[in-house]
Amino acid sequence: MEELAAYLHLTPAEIERLIADEELPSEERGDRVVFRKQDIDAWASQRILGLKDRPLAEYHDKTSYGTRKLFENEAIMPEMLQPRAMEPALKAKTKASALREMVVLAEKTGKVFDSKDLLASLVAREDLCSTALPGGLAVLHPRHHEPYMFESSFVVIGRAIQELHFGAPDGQPTHLLFLVCCQDDRIHLHTLARLCLMALKTDVLNQLRCAPDAATMYDYIIAAEQQVLGDKKAKARSS
């Protein structure tokens, strides 16, 4: 339970409450409570995608501690994004074809080892629950984080020409797709929180919809992350 609390960036008391409320996927084996990692990952990622405002900002701050040694100045995007792996004109007309196009885009990073299994893992994650958010954004990620699928962590971004129906909570179509592939457990949940916070606290989604090319999309993402980090540091100084 202590290991799980550290992984989810929650307190043991919060873990106990979630178990008592039957919100956290777990199993009883004799006098022990055990947790399957892939079930926990799916639960945690969906929880992050559903956080808003202060709870999201607080969770983002908690998860920052484990990544400070991995990324200079806490900036994730310059390490994980490449302009060549950003596509402003996805031709997909369906959710299935969009997932296929995003895997092709991921291959442009040069980090994908097994594109077939990566696609299957993305489909499995979407079958659990859609990763689409209100506002026309979906934050795709594989259900399984296996080292054989890709060499290192990365993010790719695609913008669809046509409306895609991804199952967003607001019932609206999805236009922007972020694909997050993280090998390091310390940064998987934090990267999801960072992207959600950028979407909530900056104008980056509108900017990405209007960007004329991949290079401009990249610049908007980098600037939005710096805005979020700047707001966080300003808040820390004032508290």
Same domain, 51 and 85: no
Mean pLDDT, all residues of the chain: 88
* pTM of the complete model: 0.86
In the prediction, which pLDDT does 111 show? 93
Domain around 228: 71-238
Same domain, 120 and 233: yes
Same domain, 36 and 128: no
The neighbouring-strand residues paired with 181 are: 154
pLDDT band of 70, cuts 50, 70, 90: low
Same domain, 112 and 213: yes
Domain count, the chain: 2
Length of the chain: 239
Q: How far apart are CA 118 and CA 4, in angstroms?
A: 25
Give the domain CATH number at 90. Answer: 3.40.930.10
Same domain, 46 and 87: no
Q: How far apart are CA 218 and CA 153, in angstroms?
A: 17
Same domain, 182 and 82: yes
Q: Which of 95, 112, 111 is nearest to 173 (CA)?
A: 95
